Amino acid sequence: MDWDMDVALEIVSSWLGLMNADGWIAREQILGPEARSKVPPEFQVQYPHFANPPTLSLVVAAFLERLQKPALYFGAPSQYLSDIALGTSFLREMYPKLKTNYQWFCRTQAGNLTRYQGPGTSISQGYRWRGRTPQHTLTSGLDDYPRAQPPHPEELHVDALSWVGSMVITLSKISVFLGEIEDRRTFARQEEEIIQSIEQAHWSEPDQAYCDTTITHRTTPRKVCHKGYVSLLPFCLGLMVPNSPHLGAVLDLTHDPEELWSSFGIRSLSTKDKYYGTEEDYWRGPVWININYMILERLLELARQRGPHQSKASEMYIQLRLNLVNTVFNSWNATGFAWEQYNAKTGKGQRTQHFTGWTALIVKILAMPPIPRTSSSQGGGISNEAVDARGSSTQLYIFAMVTAFFVYSFRRRLNKLWRMLC
């Protein structure tokens, strides 16, 4: 959307327009025999009680932010941003659809909370991804990420609850903008319940991390901790405020080179986990730019706010931004491609090549602002100007322009193809 807001909004509107009366949107839109021939048979049948991460709400939230602060947008001329009445009309059209999708998600992915209630606990929100198998939770988007074994119908997934929180935050912001006061009160209460439930149902004090929860053979709740991206989702999706009691532990986990931190970005799974680098090794260690971008966004927010973790967040932001730029650039320089993911041990690109999907976020990372080091963070490590000096190199400039061009071209072609098919 930073390249062409109107095209992005047309795509979002089209996707939301595919919603059925209950609020379900199919994950795959396999239109025609040619497209079907490219999709494995096991992925062609889709179920209206299977949910996926509701990332469309993030796009609408980003549009609202730019509608309120047009100076943040530098893309192609946008009728929705130049005419606030038109932009507001778009939000009014999307708002009830987003609410319907949110209600469907909560209804179909709701967890059984009966066994989680007890003295001193008040867990009112809990969710689990439907469609899970012992080996995969494809619906979560983190396909082979380790989960509790064996699967249990009463287990709760911290990432599912975090995504519900993300939807509530977006809907709350829209309700305020549109003057829907009663909705705003409802969403404010739900956001508070979600944050409380994350702390009570998913925080593991011994592990100092957010974890999935399951039911043991003794019918009692038990935390199942596989430290990695799942543990960071409450932070990534904006559900931890600067004075959160567990924010320091989350930052420590992220910054620990024996856990998630690497010279090439944040690993998807801790090196201490018994499943690290095993079997398919898809979400069990490799670095993914989309999750790293979300981490960077939160670190930047913390670095700009006074608080107990400002200095640490500043240092992590500077280092992680440089690491990611170097990782993607060096791999592109060696192979000529942007890749789906990057090896956490070597930094080499792997899996799908010419991947101008979320890996194109590296262009947004390059555009992120530099921040000064705080006095307590001076000393060893990279210089404050390193990433920006890197960003001014001729080769990196060419890389950024080539990536941006492919992304821009891809979006327009996708939109044209969509119009033809519809």
Q: What does the alpha-carbon distance between residue 289 and residue 300 come to, in Å, rounded to a whole number?
A: 16
Nearest to 321 by CA among 391, 375, 231, 421: 391
150 preceded by cis ω (within 30°)?
yes
- Residues taking part in catalysis: 143, 340
For 285, residues 6+ apart whose C-beta sits below 8 A from its C-beta are 267, 268, 269, 271, 276, 277, 344
Which residue is it, tokens 């970005």? 265
Listing DSSP states for 4-28 in one string gives: -HHHHHHHHHHHHTT--TTS---S-
Q: What does the alpha-carbon distance between residue 94 and residue 156 come to, in Å, rounded to a whole number?
A: 30
Other C-beta atoms lying within 10 Å of the C-beta of residue 62? 17
CA 206, distance to chain mean position in Å, is 26
Other C-beta atoms lying within 10 Å of the C-beta of residue 6? 17
For 94, residues 6+ apart whose C-beta sits below 8 A from its C-beta are 12, 13, 16, 60
Q: Are 318 and 382 in contact (CB under 8 A)?
A: yes
Q: What does the alpha-carbon distance between residue 45 and residue 39 come to, in Å, rounded to a whole number?
A: 10
Sign for the CA dihedral angle at 224, 225, 229, 233 comes to: positive
Q: Look at residue 224 and give its three-state secondary structure.
A: strand
Q: What does the alpha-carbon distance between residue 123 and residue 237 come to, in Å, rounded to a whole number?
A: 20
